[in-house]
Amino acid sequence: MLDKLVEKGIRVSVDAEELLAKTGDESVYERLLSLGKLFISRADVEGVLSEKNPDAEAAEFRPPSAFRPQAKEYGADLKIMHNLDVTGKSRTRGELDNFVNYFRNRFERLSRLLRQSHSNVPTVTLEDAKKHVGDRVRVLVMITEKRETKKGNTLFEVEDLTGTFKVVFSQTGGREKLMDKSRGIILDDVVALTGKILEPYMIAEEVDWPDTPVVKEKKLAERDVAVAYLSDLHFGSNNFMKEHLDLFVKWLCGEGETKELAGKVKYVIIAGDIVDGIGIYPNQERELVVKDVYKQYGMFDDFVSNLPDYVEIIVGPGNHDAVRRGDPMPAIGDDCIKSDVTKIGSPSMASIEGMKHLVYHGTSIDSMIASIPGMSYMHPEKVAVEFLKRRHLSPVYGGNLIIPEDIDYMVVEEPPDVVHCGHIHKNGYAQYRSTLVINSGTFQSRTEYQIKQGHVPTPALVPVYELKTGKLRTLDFRS
Ligand SMILES: [Fe+2]
Ligand SMILES: [Fe+2]
């Protein structure tokens, strides 16, 4: 009888299917059909079985009597900055001109940011630098090559739109601090280099990244509402932690000691890897409890149906989701997620209560850890600080797959109030200048792959940020 629903293009969540299998009452299917829904959740089946109308029940969400969620009193203040989201705007054909346009766009926008910072020495193009032999100048360049010389110095090949140059970071003359800084320069970085021109070289004296501005006070919201940050749920995986995610749902619905905080949560942002996906890595099917990606998303829809209806759910994709593999990623399709949630690309910028939230899954975190000394899987927040310093979410081209759009969506044009990443399944937080950095964890227990790699995830810990007071707390759903 389940076929009746499927034939009509109606999807049934795994939970709902299990419940339906237990009932032999055929009228249940007729009543489910009469709901006119494209997605049937467990709550729908329970509603029909108990002769209640689940729609009416959802419309007047009745929390436990002692729970008075103040977020229910407010309408949502949420705006997606669509110009910073690739969804529906991918134009690339992967041809040479797309690559040229991509790098030109990245260079022009980042060098414009660098130009805004003050310098005592004149800023010149590389073509003009040759006319300044013996002078100190500043150039705005992209790094194209980096190598150690026999004498232990570091030689960089750099370019701008007018030409190329060689820049030497010399370790002589007590420049250990500068050499230290030079180790943080990575390929394709766009930086300002200050130094003396001794053709054919520039002898570097300083390096600056675009960086975010220093501000005295961080921005806060007027209304007393909160955001819960999730990522890496991995529905469908053997290691998906359903019981623990259910505890989060119960908490949000007012069960537990911190119900006052739960009642402030007006927004839940989920930064990708909603499902475990199919064929993401060799032999993945052995680690899947649900091997149909649509059913995996059906489980997610079921999860959403159990959240209070006054909470805005914002969902971005990750490398396990059913979108293209390379960054920037478009939003997950309506054929996968049928719930009424706000779907965004990765990266995306969302203004929530006037506070700019940059949401990026974090696929490039791996290449950042491999490229920058001092970065590690233990501290994802340090990587996000490097994103902000560089005003770019994936500086090393080729370290992870980047699709060369004519606009580089990975440039962080506007300094955000909050950066939210995921991907490496580890919680981490930092306050960097005006930006709060949040790396949310996961609801997937440690996988075989993570054991082999020595990665230790932090599952079932959910950061919640109160936008009016600036208080960040981590809620523990491990037991
Ligand atoms: Fe993940
Ligand atoms: Fe991921």
pLDDT tens readout for residues 229-256: 999 999 999 999 999 999 999 999 999 9
Separation of alpha carbons 419 and 392, rounded Å: 12
What pLDDT is recorded for position 59?
44
**Ligand closest in space to the Cα of 232:** 1
CA of 367 to the centre of ligand 2 (A): 13
Please give the backbone phi and psi of residue 396, each rounded to the nearest 5 degrees, phi first.
-80, 105
What's the pLDDT score for residue 369? 96
Task: List b or e across 402-433, with b for residues whose CB sees 16 or more CB atoms inside 10 angstroms.
Answer: bbbbebbbbbbbebbbbbbbbbbbbbbbbebe
In whole angstroms, what separates CA 304 from the centre of its chain? 19
Ligand 2 centre from 361 Cα, in Å? 7
Question: Which residue segments constitute the domains of the chain, with CATH numbers given?
Answer: 2-60 (no CATH), 78-88+215-476 (3.60.21.50), 118-208 (2.40.50.140)
The low-confidence residues of the chain, meaning pLDDT below 50, are 52, 54, 56-61
What DSSP element (H or E) covers 430?
A: strand 428-432
Q: Which ligand is nearest to the CA of 360?
A: 2
**Cα(25)–Cα(49) distance, rounded to whole angstroms?**
9
Please answer whether residues 323 and 363 qualify as being in contact, where contact means their C-beta atoms are separated by less than 8 angstroms: no
Distance of alpha carbon 257 from alpha carbon 333, whole angstroms: 37
- CA of 91 relative to ligand 2 center, distance in Å: 25
C-alpha 425 – ligand 1 centre gap (Å): 6
pLDDT at 57: 47
Q: How far apart are CA 472 and CA 417, in angstroms?
A: 13
* Euclidean distance between CA atoms 455 and 31, whole angstroms: 48
- Ligand (nearest to CA of 450): 1
Between the CA of 289 and the centroid of ligand 1 the distance, in Å, is 16
CB neighbourhood size of 304 (10 A): 21
Q: With 0-12 CB in 10 A as exposed, 13-18 as middle and 19+ as buried, what is 175?
A: middle
Tell me how far the alpha carbon of residue 409 lies from the centroid of ligand 2, in angstroms.
Answer: 19
Closest CA to 316 of 285, 351, 358, 270: 270
- Ligand index nearest the alpha carbon of residue 363: 2
pLDDT at residue 64 in the model? 53
- Tell me, in angstroms, the distance from the centre of ligand 2 to residue 234's CA: 9
Tell me, rounded to whole angstroms, the distance of Cα 455 from its chain centroid: 19
Dist. CA 272 → ligand 2 center (Å): 7
pTM of the model as a whole: 0.86
Angstrom distance (rounded) from CA 379 to CA 456: 11
